[in-house]
Structure 1
Amino acid sequence: MLSDKNKNITPAGIIVTETNNRIIPATRRPDGSLRKERRVRPGFIPQEDIAIYKNRFVAKKEHTEHNKRNENNENNENNGISSQNN
C-alpha cells in the first residue's frame, strides 16, 4: 500500500503520487479479501473528475445569486439578525 505522505487524491479516489503516477488504492471486499492497487494510464480522466459544463449565462447567474446571499447574511449579522430566522 502507499504511504500517506505527499499524495493528492482526485474526486474519483485516484491517488497522484510524487512521481505523478496515478494509482487506485487497494480496497477490501465485503468477504475480507483485498483488491490490488491498480495503475491508471496516463491521460485517462475518469467521469467523476470531469467538471460539469455550464454556459456563461448560467455561471454568471449562480455567481450573482451567491454574492447576494452572502451580502444578505452579512447585513443580517451586522444588524443582529441571525440568518436562521429568514
Structure 2
Amino acid sequence: MSQVFEFEIVVGGIEVNTDEQLFDISDKLYEAGCSDATVLVENGTVIVCFDREADTLESAIESGKNDINKVEGIYAASALDKSKSAD
C-alpha cells in the first residue's frame, strides 16, 4: 500500500547563487519528474525536498534520485529521511 514519504536529496554538480539559476534548475527538475518536490538553496547547495508517494521509503528515495539524475550536469548526492524528524 502506497504512502507519502518526506525526504530531502542534496544535489551535486551545481552551485546556485542567483534567483535565475534557482528558477532554471527548478524548471529542469520539474520537467524531469520532480513535480512533488520543492527546490531550496542553502549556501549555494541545492536541496530537493520531496513528498513522494511510494510503497517504501527506499523506493521513494530511489525514484527521486533517478528523476534528479535525468537532469544533465547534476546528480543526487545524498538523501535524508525527513519523516523521522517531523515530531
- Of the two, which has the highest radius of gyration? 1
TM-score (normalizing by structure 2): 0.22
The structure with the greater share of residues assigned to strand is 2
